Amino acid sequence: MQLQSLFLFALPLADAAIADLYSDKECKHKVGKRNVWDNSCAATVIEFMSMNITIPSNKKQFLSVWNGNHCIGRRAQRCLQAKLFAYPLGEGSNMGCIPTFNARGGAKAISSCGFCL
């Protein structure tokens, strides 16, 4: 019972943004979905060219996308605040489609932190 109480107490401290990942630049060909927990690196096994934030975190979580499947080196795109870029993709609209590519190709990882450098 003590362990269960401890788990329920710690649960609200964890928070994640959820993004759909796409193989194309227009968010049309979905290839996966990724949870990005606070202060973490979420690597993928696929290269994605765009993403759509379907659920922003409850906090002011910032996301960066990276070319390699680790979150070091050069970012593929700018750092952005998840809540400000979370739009549903609708019929004929790609307002929530976020590019995740640069001259080196698509992204393979997403990181989260409380601020952008």
In tens, the pLDDT along 42-89 reads 998 899 999 999 888 877 888 988 888 788 776 767 788 888 887 766
Q: Tell which CATH classification among 2.60.20, 3.30.1460, 3.40.50, 1.10.1060 matches the domain 15-113.
A: 2.60.20
**Of residues 80 and 35, which shows the higher confidence score?**
35
For residue 2, is pLDDT > 60?
no
Domain boundaries, the chain: 15-113
Residue 84 has what pLDDT? 82
Backbone torsions φ then ψ of 87, nearest 5 degrees = -130, 140
pTM: 0.79
In angstroms, the Cα distances linking 110 to 1, 60, 91, 92 are 36, 16, 26, 26
